A and B are shown apart, each in its own frame.
Chain A
Amino acid sequence: MTDIASHAPIGRSRFSLMNYLVCLKGILIREGLRYLNQRERFISSLVRPLLWLFIFAAGFRQVLGVSIIPPYQTYVLYEVYITPGLCGMILLFSGMQSSLSMVYDREMGNMRTLLVSPFPRWFLLVSKLLAGVAVSIIQVYAFLFIAWFWGVKAPPSGYLLTLPALFLSGMMLGALGMLLSSLIKQLENFAGIMNFVIFPMYFASSALYPLWRVQEASPLLYKICLLNPFTYAVELVRFAFYGQIEWTSLAVVCGFTIVFIAGAIIAYDPSRGLVIKKQEGGNN
């Protein structure tokens, strides 16, 4: 019975494109339902950037002048400058939230139901990533809707043109979150992600201040900002609002997206991955 030669491969059948779409749809619906079931998550995802917009930006409007820099054609209010950064902030927190939910799913065992699906592991992970990005883009548009009433308005076409930039940036940050989730052993360790990933990425970027101002203040910080992929995500979104493509940002965001996704797929591959190693201690 155990003679390997006796195992002629039989009954091989491949999933059709429709099967893949059914699987993707199921993962999207599940992520959406989880999001709807966690209303506080939706509210907190909006409160955070709105606080920055209503309080921080209003207070710093007089202190931080923004000169005419691309893509802006004229002087803009600080609220206008900071808005793409706040969109990035939503994507960043959402990406990390997804990683938190993956760690939670892993601890609770729900992740196993996904990983024992017969679809390829890379497809399952990318589908989960897409579902997370879809949810975060909804959050961004809810934020932009409220900001519009606050007087922060982009050109009307900008709201549509920024969608691909939000998608790409969301993919990059979501993939980073997914990769990080493979490195986190326990849910409690997520606080470390806040301190060592989210805050440094957010503050050492062009989200809050133009890079020329950062360079004036600290050349070292400027270099760090240039090394930070989040800077490029913010700039990609900023230019997209005005119907422009910042090619360097596009290349960097695409590059990091590929690297992070590849890293996450490797980390979740049972033959090479890190995820199972994190669980090994508890199994027998």
Chain B
Amino acid sequence: MGTNAGLRNINDKSMPEANLPALDLASVSYAYGKRQALENVTFSIAPGRFAVLLGLNGAGKTTLFSLISHLFATRHGRIHVFGHDIDRRPGDALRRLGIVFQARTLDLDLSVHQNLSYHASLHGIRSREANRRIHDLMQSIDMSDRLHEKARSLSGGQIRRVEIVRALLHEPSLLLLDEATVGLDIKSRATILADIRKLVEEKGISVLWATHLIDEVSHADQVIVLNQGKLVANGPVHDVVKNAGAETINEAFSRLTGIYALNAGNRL
């Protein structure tokens, strides 16, 4: 399947967006009361890059996503999406963002088409254009025949794929996926990951893929590692591995998040 049907190519250099970082975080901190969830996080993602945000549960990935998607206000630091400050110009930033949340967010009582139409309207897309995009994208994931079924009748993997289609409907330039493959079987995981990588390759969409599953990292990816709210690594895979004094990304992740020490301790 290919989820890139009907999407424009943002690598077009005539577009001013192509010259700005897709996502840029500068000294972002966030606390829940006294508990510091994020501390001075700074990184950026170039247009057309596939960036993997790695972190254990509780590392701050979901908080970071909530800040980038303006569900939380950035109290310390700044976040820019293609040059648009998420807090000062949320509309301009949000229209460039496609978001797949960790929790399932389809309305199970509505049909797939109704869910997708609702999302299109939330981006001001008129029904004729919305129907065209819905048709094209659903066809590209071989799910056209499920369009008028209730979302409740879909499997977990199918719901996820529809959510990805939904996130692509308004033709975003940056796609955020928060643990998009959690709870899915190996085949569904592989299919979804391959689709997203294809989008990056063919259409130049930038992706921030949050996960705690190391096997989802590819050699060409940018890797950002969060541990207990702090950025502990950021860069190409080989740099992260080298800087951590490891031989593989798996080992590097273990070292950076303290699992390595924990495992070593267990062996004693």
Contact = CB atoms under 8 A, between A and B. Distances in A.
Given A25-B121, A26-B118, A269-B73, 18 more contacts: A1-B24, A8-B83, A9-B92, A11-B17, A12-B92, A15-B124, A22-B124, A37-B110, A112-B71, A112-B103, A112-B105, A114-B122, A116-B69, A118-B91, A119-B122, A270-B71, A283-B32, A284-B59
A43 interface: no
Interface of A: 1-2, 4, 7-13, 15-16, 18-20, 22-23, 25-27, 29-30, 33-34, 37-38, 108-110, 112-120, 124, 269-272, 276, 280-281, 283-284
Contacts of A34: 107, 109-110
B72 A276 contact: yes
Contacts of B63: 283-284
Interface string B181-210: 000000000000000000000000000000
Contacts of A12: 84, 89, 92
B60 interface: yes
Contacts of B126: 18, 22
B78 A4 contact: yes
B235 interface: no
6 contacts: A7-B83, A11-B92, A26-B122, A112-B105, A116-B94, A284-B37
Nearest to B67: A270
A280 B58 CA distance: 13
B82 A2 contact: no
Contact of B101 (A19, A112, A280): A112
Nearest to A116: B69
A118 B92 contact: yes
A159 to B, nearest CB: 31
Contact of B70 (A25, A116, A280): A116
A51 to B, nearest CB: 27
Interface string B83-107: 1110101111111010101011111
Contacts of A270: 70-73
B123 to A, nearest CB: 7
A83 B126 CA distance: 41
A23 B21 CA distance: 29
The 7 closest A-B pairs by CB, nearest first: A26-B121, A19-B124, A271-B73, A109-B103, A117-B122, A118-B95, A1-B44
Contacts of A283: 32, 37, 62-63, 66
A26 B118 CA distance: 5
Given A37-B109, A270-B70, A283-B63, A109 B92 contact: no
Interface of B: 15-17, 20-21, 24-26, 32-33, 37, 42, 44, 57-63, 66, 69-73, 78, 80, 82-85, 87, 89-95, 97, 99, 101, 103-107, 109-110, 114, 117-127, 166
Nearest to B17: A11
A124 B91 CA distance: 12
A30 B118 contact: yes
B59 A116 contact: no
B124 A23 contact: yes
A117 B94 contact: yes
Contacts of A19: 124
A2, A8, A9, A108 pick with most chain B CB within 10 angstroms: A2
Contact of A7 (B20, B91, B124): B20
A79 to B, nearest CB: 36
B87 A284 contact: no
Given A12-B89, A112-B105, A120-B91, A276 B71 contact: yes
A124 to B, nearest CB: 8
Given A4-B78, A118-B92, A119-B124, A284 B24 contact: no
Contacts of B87: 271
B58 A117 contact: no
Contacts of A33: 110, 114
B128 to A, nearest CB: 11
Contact of B94 (A4, A10, A118): A118
A109 B80 contact: no
A26 B134 CA distance: 15
A110 B109 CA distance: 12
A159 B66 CA distance: 47
Nearest to B125: A22
A118 B44 CA distance: 22
A247 to B, nearest CB: 38
A22 B121 contact: yes
Contacts of A25: 121
A109 B72 CA distance: 14
A101 to B, nearest CB: 11
